Each structure stands twice: as C-alpha cells, then as structure tokens.
Amino acid sequence: MQTRALRCHALSQDIEVLTLDNVQLSEPQAHEVQIEIRACAVNFPDILMIQGGYQFKPELPFSPGGEFSGVVTRVGSAVDHLQPGDRVVAGERVGGFSEHINVSAESVRQIPDHVTFAKAASYATAYLTAYVALKVRGHLRPSETLLVHGAAGGVGMAAVDLGKHFGARVIATAGSQDKVDALTARGVDAVINYTQSDGSLGGFREAVKSLTDGNGADVIFDPVGGSVFDESMRCINWGGRLLTIGFTSGVWPKAAVNHILIKQIAVIGVRAGEVGRRDPVLGQECRKAIFDLLCEGAIDPYIYQTYPLEEGVKAMQALQSRAVIGKSVLTMNGYECEPTTPSSIT
C-alpha cells in the first residue's frame, strides 16, 4: 500500500531537508502489526538524528519519530493478542512521522478509550526518564522537597507530574513568564523564573533556600547542567540527591567534592534506557508502572500544540527554539486534538 511519510534523505544541520514522500509499505510480517498512525510525539532525538549527532544512526532515508499511537489495521499471521481496530501505542527508534507503519507486535500496547492518541504518544520517553530518576535512582519520598529544573520541557513536566503523584513538595524553575504561568496552573507548589528582565540567567539558589527555611531541596532533578548544576550544589539539603539527567546547556559541570563531603549529598547519573538494558526485568517493571499510571489517569502528559504531518519541520523548529511547553505532537489520518488546557495535577 502507499502511504505518506516525512523523510530524511541526507544528514544536515538544517532540518528543512525533510521531504514529504509517497512510499510503498509492505504487508506486515508474521510477528508484526500495521498501524494507522494518529499521533506522533516530537522529541530532540528526532532533530539530532537528522543532524547526525545522535548515537543511533538510522539508514538513509528514514522517517523520524519514535513514539506514536494509532489504530491497528493489519496483523501478521503469528499475532493473536491484537486485531484490526485496536487502539494502541508503540515505540520504535524511527518511523513515526508517517501515516502508516509496520512494527513488531511486542512493542505495541493497547490503550483504553479514555486515553487520547496525543497523550498516549507523549508519555513513554519523558515519563520513563522521570520515573527512573525519581523512583529508582533518587528514592524520592513523600513530604520531601523536589526541585525540578527545565520544568516546562517534556521531561521536566513529567518530573513535576510524578513528583506530585509521589507526594513530594515540588519547586520548579523555568525561563519565561508563559512557562511559569503554565507550571503554576498545573499546581506546582512554587515556580522560580531564573531569567532576569534583560534575558540573562539569574540565580535561583536564594529563592530555593527561602522556600525551604534555609535547608534546600532534598532531591534535585537537573537536565540542564552548567551553571544550573553549580547553583544546585549550593541549595541542596544535607543528605540530598542531585540527579543529573543531561546537559541541555551544552556545558558539562564539575562537581565540587568538598560540598559533596560536607553535606553528605549524592550526585547520581540517570540513563533510563541503560537501566532497562542492564536489568531487563527492572526496565519492564518501570515501563509497566508508567503505562499503568497513564491508563489510571494518575499522570497527564501536557500537550502544548499539535501539527499536521505536513508541518513536521515547523514542529521540530519550535522544539529547537525552546518555545515548546511540555510536548508537541504531529497528527495524521484525520485525528485532531486540542492542546492541553492548564489544570492542576495535585
């Protein structure tokens, strides 16, 4: 069958190289299912793969998109737990920026009717990272204070959401007033705008100390690195855990060992995917835990904006410019979804 896909034919720093192609899709193999995609999340690895800067380098041409949801249209001869018409979510490294895809049936989960396609496509990577960080690596406990940096991003929003679910007091940092407003509307206990009126970075250390009676945060979720990591070392509580998730600032910080010693804090690296590769049982438990929370309505992925497949490049440019709050999603095959209305997650 013929289907449309947004594809990369040559690696480039300019993501506008993507083209909307008509491609031939074969029948699913014995252990595969064919999905009519309705929604696909837009993530930073999609951009990095186009630029050749991601650790996984797909064969050209490829269609970006690793998290998608839709409806099963065909099943392979060896598949007996899925059937045409099932609403499903799936994850692959690539292929989601298309109207149809064949995937291994093992990578597919059925979703209940009350879970929208857009939210189903937006939970897996962000919430798995946040869950492994807070629950497995950070051992976040109820009533502790959690400080989330980059809280308006996809992973940051997931950490805020899970932090509240786990019973923590959540303080968030963000870099613009619209992001502060969105986090406040989501029920975050306190939000700190770390930019100054001239657009330069400001300190958040004193604000965190003031909000915690001078003690500092018990757990700090840091996907930013750089000076944010340095400031975090100075507003963490005695015995606290500083979770380093990534370095969106582009700067790898150096930990002050004297602070680690004096405050008896732990600086903990988090790679959610690697946890699953080294301990498949634990990885499966974590994936099941967040899927169950999604189906129960205990977590709520924040959808900032949806774009049609034809505007996939525009969606990635918005993400690249840090304009996105939460997640952006491509929609296909007539599916329409309203962006998330800010609502409390308490």
User: Both tokens of residue 275?
Assistant: 């946890």
Contacting residues for 148 by C-beta, under 8 A, at least 6 apart: 156, 159, 160, 163, 170, 171, 172, 173, 221
Q: Which domains does the chain have, with CATH numbers?
A: 2-122+301-331 (3.90.180.10), 125-274 (3.40.50.720)
Residue 198 pLDDT class (50, 70, 90 cuts)? very low
> What's the average model confidence in pLDDT over 187-194?
92
User: Both tokens of residue 332?
Assistant: 């296909």
Q: What is the pLDDT of residues 255-293, one digit of tens each?
A: 888 888 888 999 999 998 888 899 999 999 999 999 999
Strands 327-331 and 303-308, bridge-based pairing? parallel
Using CA atoms, how far apart are residues 149 and 175, in angstroms rounded to an integer? 10
Residue 217 has pLDDT above 60, yes or no: yes
Residue 252 pLDDT class (50, 70, 90 cuts)? confident
> What's the average model confidence in pLDDT over 90-106?
95
Using CA atoms, how far apart are residues 64 and 52, in angstroms rounded to an integer? 12
> What's the average model confidence in pLDDT over 324-336?
92
